[in-house]
Amino acid sequence: MRIKETQKHLTRLTVMLLMALAAASQALPGCQDSCGSVSSIPYPFGIGNSSVTGHNCFQEKELELTCRNSTLYRGQGNAQIINISLAGKIDMLMFISKVCKNESQGNRPSLRSPAFTISSEDNKFVSVGCDTYGYLNSFRNGTTSSTGCLTRRDSLESVESMQKRKLYGHRLQQFQFHFRFQQVWILLCGKNGNYSFSVDHLKGINFTMAPMVMEWSVGNDTCDASMHTADYACKSDNSYCQNSPYEYGYRCQCNPDFEGNPYLLHGCQDIPECARNQHNCDSEDHCRETSGSFECFCPDGLIGNGTKEGGGCHTKQPHDPFNKIIIGAGVGLIALFIGVSWLYLMYQKRKVLKLKEKFFQQNGGIILRQQLSTREDSSQSTTIFSAEQLKKATNNFDESLIVGKGGFGTVFKGLLSNNKVVAIKKSKIVDQSQVEQFINEVIVLSQINHRNVVKLLGCCLETEVPLLVYEFVNNGTLFHYLHKQGEVVNVSWKMCLRIATETAAALSYLHSVASIPIIHRDVKTSNILLDETYNAKVSDFGASRLVPLEQTEIATIVQGTFGYLDPEYMQSSQLTEKSDVYSFGVVLVELLTGEKPFCFDRSEEKRSLTVHFLCSLKEDRLIDVLQMGILDEENRQEVVEVAILAARCLRLTGEERPSMKEVAIELEGIKLTEKHPSIKTGRNFEVGQYLLHKTQSSREHGDSSSSQQNTGYDSLRALELIEFGNGR
């Protein structure tokens, strides 16, 4: 035992001796490795030439040092060095700049070398004085940048002033101190915590130099550009190159678990973790050095992994039949548990598949497949997505991806596997008696190809509630655009007219051009989406109904949004295309006024926007309800025409309302008038004729308003000739 302990002691001493030798040999062979108080001068720095090889003791001229009178200087200059670190930092003594009122000149320390940079983390720039301004100039690539301190005083009694500022941001490779002064002015740039202010310093400072931390690098290019050159500085096998953070040169570092001087051949040595007790083995005897690391082991006769966390090493237990039985039983139980778990997982998987199949049939999946297989036009096929595809696309329907909620479902933003962004609508539970109609609507909607209608891309029927997949429109809703919370909305008349025209065109398409007419039943500004160029796209067909070609109206349960609902539809439950016309009239009023359709915060006579709008129109007060900035001399005719059209759409009787096709044509005409002003004269005549016809009709029926003799279009009083009803 004593022999073993002696051997271990000798080994430890040997390791420590090698470490001491490695620490002492930081310079090249035959080169001076100390000077005065600087006990270690590591290569790539060096003094003069090697007495062994005759070569330079330094890597490059910028890193040459001089030892004069036991004091270390950089090159042949006067910058005194007090410490050098292989971590890329060097401490120097630098002159402070000191000027008094009656003196003509002070010190101006200057350092011009791209290999050295003032450390912005380890230094502070300090200015002491009254009514003074001290700053540093940095010169780089022919440009000058400055940073500095300003001290001011309000009276002679206020003499205590000092400002400190870190050297931020700039790579100060070449710098000079400058000053302007009134009384006492002192500048110093030095190591953090090295200077403490005293009021006596306003009269003068009894020292002329202060330590300053510089950062250094070798070479003048990046690691990639330098590693194949002859003067590449990272010589050690266990080292790597690191680009300088200041974009000039590079530094060498020893690999993890190695230490030493990476600039010397074989300069990086393995750290002896075992000898230094830097390990997690249960004892040093069970620690073995490896290249760049260590390992724990158990010697012969002991079992375990040798680590403290793993219980260390312990003696082997004698063979016991009872232990074999316990081990066998344990293995059997584990195998049984694994088998049962596998069977349970298979059962659950089968159960999920059956449930998906049940939902698929329940939601009309079989009917949809049959319909798709019989379709002749395969260019616009509807995709049937799996539940897994849409779960992955929405990160399992993460709430952060919700882009909208409505009365008929929630809309999520999703990303398909082909990187296509889509909108996925999670609808409410479908009435099983309406499954065939739901599938028919999916088929019809998927065939709609209109640039102002949101395209239906497909659906998923494997979930309890069907999921519909639409194209994604990324600029929000018209409602949000008009009523941004707390923001002043500046909507131009040109944009309002374009959005109204595009929306009317889309609804006209649904009513008149689609293979089976479609009544939207929930036309409102929150169901009109805007793309990146603010083009309108009608969306959300959750409440829509298909109208058989031989029918003009459908008896349904009243659905829609309060403020947009057709009063006639609310009373009779008979849904017609004119119900969408009324709702679109509310949208027109919303565009004209910038107000919400119904708001309890408004006074009682203004709560219903349509009632307030129609009353203002009838009383020749249209300008009072228009949103600010929408009306000017150039568009006055178009605004009034759209207001009249909105009033016609809001008639209580559906038969008296224009069709959606007529509305779209009229808006297109107004838009055309805006682009081609020469058409205005003709339109003035047509509108004048229309108002004259209404005047004559009113006289025939004894309408008192016929006494108004205004037939000119520019007179808003002519609007009194149009009967609006109560306009609820």
553 and 579, same structural domain? yes
Which pairing describes strands 302-304 and 421-427: parallel, antiparallel, or unpaired? unpaired
pLDDT digit string, tens, across residues 617-648: 888 889 889 988 888 888 888 999 999 999 99
Does the active-site annotation cover 522? yes
- pLDDT band at 713; cut points 50, 70, 90: very low
Q: Is residue 194 part of a domain?
A: yes
Cβ contact 509:453 at 8 Å: yes
Say how far apart CA 485 and CA 477 lie, in whole Å: 13
What value does the mean pLDDT take over residues 267-279? 89
- For 244-397, list the strands marked E by DSSP: 250-254, 258-260, 268-270, 287-290, 293-296, 302-304, 313-315, 383-384
End-of-domain residue from the set 420, 448, 471: 471
Measured in degrees and rounded to the nearest 5, phi and psi for residue 458 equal 170, -170
Q: How many domains does the chain have?
A: 4
CATH of the domain at 162: 2.60.120
Catalytic position from the list 522, 540, 566, 580: 522
Among 100-109, 517-526, 540-549, whose mean pLDDT is lowest?
100-109
On whether both 500 and 541 belong to a single domain, the answer is yes
Residues 455 and 492 in one domain: no
575: closest CA among 556, 589, 594? 556
Residue 113 has a pLDDT of 74
Same domain, 674 and 531: yes
What 56-63 contacts at long range (C-beta under 8 Å, 24+ apart), as own/partner pairs, is 57/27, 57/28, 57/30, 57/31, 57/32, 59/218, 59/231, 59/233, 59/263, 60/115, 60/218, 60/219, 60/231, 62/113, 62/114, 62/115, 62/116, 63/115, 63/216, 63/218
Mean pLDDT, residues 667-681 taken together? 71
Determine the Cα–Cα distance for residues 711 and 694; give it in Å rounded to an integer. 10
User: What residues form DSSP beta bridges with 252?
Assistant: 241
Q: Of all residues in the chain, what percent carry a pLDDT higher than 70?
A: 73
Q: Which of 635, 656, 679 is the last residue of a domain?
A: 679
Pair (515, 643) in one structural domain: yes
Q: Answer yes or no: is 54 within a domain.
A: yes
Residues 438 and 553 in one domain: no
420 belongs to an annotated ligand binding site: no
Is the pTM for the entire model greater than 0.85?
no
Lowest mean pLDDT among 423-432, 456-465, 659-668: 423-432
Going by the DSSP 8-state scheme, the letter that residue 1 receives in this structure is -
In a domain, 424, yes or no: yes
In-domain check, residue 624: yes
Boundary residue ending a domain (423, 453, 471): 471
Report the C-alpha gap between 619 and 614 in whole angstroms: 9
The CATH number of whichever domain residue 400 belongs to comes to: 3.30.200.20
Banded model confidence at residue 446, pLDDT cuts 50, 70, 90: confident
- 606 shares a domain with 491: yes
- pLDDT band, residue 543 (cuts 50/70/90): low
CATH at 636: 1.10.510.10
Residues 499 and 648 in one domain: yes
Q: Higher model confidence: residue 309 or residue 240? A: 240
* Shared domain check, 669 and 566: yes
Full residue range of the structural domain in which residue 411 is found = 362-471
Same domain? 528 vs 423: no
* pLDDT band, residue 95 (cuts 50/70/90): confident
Same domain, 374 and 393: yes
Contact 187, 97 (CB under 8 A): yes
For residues 398 and 417, membership in a common domain is answered with yes
